[in-house]
Amino acid sequence: MEPLRRLRRPARQGFREGAGRGITHERRPTMDLVIRDASVIDGTGDPAYRADIGIAQGRITEIRKEGEGPRPTARRTVEADGLALAPGFIDMHAHSDLALLRDPDHSAKAAQGVTLEVIGQDGLSYAPVDDPTLAAVRRAITGWNGDGSDIDFDWRTVGEYLDRLDRNFDGQGIAVNAAYLIPQGTVRMYAVGWDDRPATAQELDHMRQLVAEGLEQGAVGMSSGLTYTPGMYADDSELAELCRVVARHDGYYCPHHRSYGAGALQAYEEMVTLTREAGCALHLAHATMNFGVNKGKAPDLLQLLDDALDAGADISLDTYPYTPGCTTLVAMLPSWASEGGPDAILRRLRDDATAEKIRYEMEEIGADGCHGVPIEWDTIEISGVSDPGLASCVGKTVARAAEMRCEEPWVTARRLLIDDRLGSTILQHVGHEDNVRQIMRHRVHTGGSDGILQGFKPHPRAYGTFPQYLGKYSRDLGILGLEETVAHLTSRPAARLRLPDRGIVREGYRADLVLFDPETVAAGSTFEAPRTLPVGIPHVLIDGRFVIEDGRRTDVLAGRAVRRAPARG
């Protein structure tokens, strides 16, 4: 597919629609824009209806259903001609923390109809930090976001990072809106370091303070990566203390929990119990049931969640509509091998005796980094490397790369970890389609891409999650009806984020909107061509401004930091 091209227009130039869709100019405009004859899928799950939508000053100011009276007028009038109009999609699990700062285009998300991303995921991001913590976290998640050498890290607090989003690109802003989760692993790195030990009372107080300050400065909650160091070194009592702070500020806890493999159900139950005791809302990140041990076990997870919900728990979850996962190769190591941070990891890998202990635990026992399941190298595909000199590995499984070198897979993996300085990303082909389908039907499900944009061959979910839901899983497979699918991607996540004016097509709400063709919308991205843009999404608006117009990226930067609403009561 042809990449999106930027369109530069005079500010008051008329909107030009594609063939068969015209434009009119009113002499006495009352609004900035009217979208006529749209099939409105309002995000509530209710049946679609035909209407004109009036927009002024970034908000929906009028919804005139077909046959209800005089049609609204505006400076610009778009004839939707039956295209579906929905609220902008909310990506509940994104890794665009630096991409939003370096890429004004950001078509990976904008072209999907995403108007808001939730970043700061999996317990590791770039605020709050001091100088040593920033240096360490940059190295730790190079595989997710690059090393940041092209970024001016002129912030240290959560509030300063959110301010930076707002004033990015010479004050214009960012491509799409962004909300931020305080990363618990970064907080622990800041207050405790990389040691695998309980926090002292003073360190715990420091962590509580960092979390409280981040929430007061606008974060919507807290994330964890409990298979990533150093966040995984926190025990449940420590996590519960931080969740109590989150609860007092009316935020939510979003854990990547301790196992998606051999101990998956126990790990889900641990998070449900912990947050209920802390009185904190829970949002389960990329809630999958992977590996052979969990084939057919989605009903067990859903029963656990239903029982908790029926007992009064506040729980939601997100998933992506694909079976493989994506992470870094270093994340597969046992946690003890990662204690002390990146330099300590590399020292252990270079020591033959220690490296053999790592291999044995990964291949024979099942390391906690690989979710307690013995690693299967033929399921681990190299998707990206930091060193371009290692690009020949990309697209091959570790098993295949080792076979080509006539060596054992661990030898290849160890060499890659060392030579790429822990910066390699992987696709892990361990999912089950039946589990994916059953979980996406659940009453508290939302959509999240978990999209890592780095690497030569990223997971296609980064570019395709939302059209994949609309096209493959709604239209083609009928797993969810179209109105219900849109609700999963709009009003449900908006409710979790406690956003009072987003996620529904309603008068007074923000004009973050998507126009798509239900008959043709589809993900263009594939595992072979993961950066291909979707089809069937001609127009996307943020704050009433077109960021995608006629299927092309405009030069509009309408995104801003979306800060936590004040606590209730």
Any bridge partners for residue 327, and if so which? Answer: 426
| pLDDT exceeds 80 at position 74 | yes
- The H or E element that residue 540 is part of is strand 539-542
pLDDT of 211 reads 98
- Tell me the CATH architecture of domain 89-324+430-500: Alpha-Beta Barrel (3.20)
**What residue spans define the domains of the chain?**
89-324+430-500, 337-428
pLDDT digits (tens, 9 = 90+) for 301-350: 999 999 999 999 999 999 999 999 999 999 999 999 999 999 999 999 99
CA distance 232 to 258: 7
| pLDDT exceeds 90 at position 269 | yes
pLDDT of 568 reads 54
Where residue 455 falls among pLDDT bands split at 50, 70, 90? Answer: confident
| pLDDT exceeds 80 at position 26 | no
* Three-state secondary structure call for residue 75: coil
Distances (CA, A) of 429 to 144, 325, 439: 18, 7, 18
Least confident among 6-10, 87-91, 288-292: 6-10
Q: How far is CA 206 from the centre of its chain?
A: 28
Question: 75 is written with which tokens?
Answer: 């400076």
Average pLDDT over residues 58-78: 93
CA distance 525 to 519: 18
Average pLDDT over residues 63-76: 91
Average pLDDT over residues 417-436: 95
Any bridge partners for residue 505, and if so which? Answer: none
The residue whose two tokens read 């209710």 is: 46
Q: What 8-state DSSP symbol labels residue 178? A: E
Question: 428 is written with which tokens?
Answer: 């892990």
Please give the residue that has the higher pLDDT: either 29 or 300.
300
The residue type at 125: S
Question: 429 is written with which tokens?
Answer: 């082909």
Q: What are phi and psi of 434, to 5 degrees?
A: -60, -40
CA distance 511 to 62: 11
CA distance 109 to 450: 12
| pLDDT exceeds 80 at position 48 | yes
pLDDT digits (tens, 9 = 90+) for 99-129: 999 999 999 999 999 999 999 999 999 999 9
Percentages helix, strand, coil for the chain (3-state, rounded to 5) are 35, 20, 45
CA distance 174 to 154: 16
Any bridge partners for residue 427, and if so which? Answer: 326, 381
Portion of the chain with pLDDT greater than 90, in percent: 91
CA distance 24 to 83: 18
CA distance 314 to 569: 18
Residues 6+ apart with CB under 8 A from 382: 329, 393, 394, 395, 396, 397, 398, 401, 416, 424, 425, 426, 457
Contact 380, 428 (CB under 8 A): yes
Where residue 564 falls among pLDDT bands split at 50, 70, 90? Answer: confident
| pLDDT exceeds 90 at position 141 | yes
| pLDDT exceeds 80 at position 198 | yes
Contact 377, 234 (CB under 8 A): no
Contact 260, 291 (CB under 8 A): yes
pLDDT of 25 reads 43
CA distance 55 to 34: 6
Q: How far is CA 437 from the centre of its chain?
A: 19
pLDDT digits (tens, 9 = 90+) for 214-238: 999 999 999 999 999 999 999 999 9
Average pLDDT over residues 193-201: 96
Q: What are phi and psi of 45, to 5 degrees?
A: 95, -10
Average pLDDT, the chain: 93
- The H or E element that residue 303 is part of is helix 298-310
pLDDT of 456 reads 86
pLDDT digits (tens, 9 = 90+) for 165-174: 999 999 999 9
